[in-house]
Amino acid sequence: MLLSIAVILLILLVIFQISKASEYVSILRGEDKSFKQSNKVNGFLMITFLVFGLIAVYWCNKILYPKTNLHLGSSSIEGEQVDTMLWITIIITGIVFIVTQILLFWFAFRYQHKEGNTSYFYPHNSKLEIVWTTVPTIVLAILIVFGLRSWSLFTGDAPKDAMQIEVTGKQFGWIFRYPGKDGVFGEKYFKDIDEGNSNPLGLIWKDSAALGQKADPATMDDIIAQSTVYIVKNKPVKFIINSRDVIHDFGLSWFRMKMDAVPGTPTTMWFTPKYTTKEMIQRTGNPDFQYEVSCDQLCGNGHYSMKGTIVVVTQAEYDEWLAKQKPAYYAAFPDKEPKEAPAATDSSSAKAATTAKL
């Protein structure tokens, strides 16, 4: 850090000394002669900077583009619309950038000061002003309409067969809840939150006269998962997003989705995954690949560590994983968990078979 500061200060000092030396030279040579020479040098440098600048832009894009997840495309079907909008935006702004930069530096070179040249003042042109106002307005309006169309899709009604998963952000992590076998999310209340008793969401498991509430039977089979959530390939999934404390943002860059998690105001979004995690390991060539959940809203000192993982699996793999999960209620109250009936012994089975024959 100190070395970087020292280098920056040294560069500033060199620039200052060069400017002072240039000033002394102009005094010795005569200001008019020095101005003409500096003008030619600056004009040449403008073209040089233009050429090397455009080469640098191309070079940076060639090196950095493969390091983004843009070249692999969206990992969700609905996110393909976001990619399309992004590419259209990049192409339009890229063309505008290149054209304006070429004109900017070429004009600085072509119309540099020369003896005998006079300036031509062009104060007003209504047609030109209408063109450069109307064209950008139309282009931006089209992009906005396209974006609103995509936004309405993601945040609108999910397909009837979509999975339902609740997401709750907290400082600094993600909590996921599945509705259980009844397919219904149980009621929750923030005063019932008890991290030490496997109830980080405040599910209403008990009657409380003080709070004026009764236990909700729908909470008894809800499954809670910390940090990692499982979803199914080619099956729509709807996330119901909440926050337990401050504003967070549920960011899924690989699926091209994100949505604010606001305290007291649930938000929703849905999408359909295209590739399993195993398939993405092969596509990326990264054996440690994971679909990362990030918080895209600065939410406190531990914001950088607020991460989660989405695991995309096949339906069979999901069913196998779900069968192993225990409802949060039984994790908090193990004595309430139904006991499995003991398997019949060989002798009792034989006796039952004999009786059946008789």
CB of 309 within 8 A of CB of 292? yes
* Nearest partner of 72 among 207, 253, 242, judged by Cα: 253
CA 348 remoteness from chain centre: 60
In a domain, 316, yes or no: yes
297: amino acid identity, one letter: Q
CA 107 remoteness from chain centre: 40
**Is 14 strand, coil or helix?**
helix
Range in 24-33, 132-141, 163-172, 293-302 with the lowest mean pLDDT: 24-33
Q: Is the peptide bond preceding residue 172 cis, with omega within 30 degrees of 0?
A: yes
In a domain, 256, yes or no: yes
pLDDT at 13 over 70: yes
Residue-wise pLDDT tens digits, 59-110: 999 999 988 888 899 999 999 999 999 999 999 999 999 999 999 999 888 8
CATH number of the domain that residue 209 is part of: 2.60.40.420
Count of structural domains, the chain: 1
In a domain, 241, yes or no: yes
Phi, psi (degrees; rounded to nearest 5) at 174: -120, 140
pLDDT category at 271 given cuts 50, 70, 90 is very high
pLDDT at 31 over 90: no
In a domain, 287, yes or no: yes
Q: Is the dihedral of CA 187, 192, 195, 199 positive or negative?
A: negative
In a domain, 217, yes or no: yes
189: amino acid identity, one letter: Y
Percent of the chain with pLDDT over 90: 58
* Nearest partner of 265 among 137, 163, 169, judged by Cα: 169
Q: How far is CA 83 from CA 90, 97, 297, 314, in A?
A: 10, 20, 22, 25
Q: What is the pTM of this model?
A: 0.78
Mean per-residue pLDDT, 148-173: 93
In a domain, 183, yes or no: yes
Interaxial angle between packed helices 79-110 and 31-64, expressed in degrees from 0 to 180 and rounded to the nearest 10: 160
Mean per-residue pLDDT, 212-228: 90
In a domain, 33, yes or no: no
Residue-wise pLDDT tens digits, 291-337: 999 999 999 999 999 999 999 999 999 999 999 999 999 988 888 88
Provide the pairing of β-strand 248-252 with 291-295.
Answer: antiparallel
CB of 229 within 8 A of CB of 176? yes
Number of Cβ within a 10 Å radius of residue 245: 15
CA 114 remoteness from chain centre: 53
Domain ranges, residue 202: 163-334
Task: State the greatest distance between any 2 C-alpha atoms of the chain, in Å, as a whole number.
Answer: 128
**Is 197 strand, coil or helix?**
helix
Mean per-residue pLDDT, 130-155: 91
pLDDT at 236: 96
Q: What is the mean pLDDT of the chain?
A: 86
pLDDT at 352 over 50: no
In a domain, 294, yes or no: yes
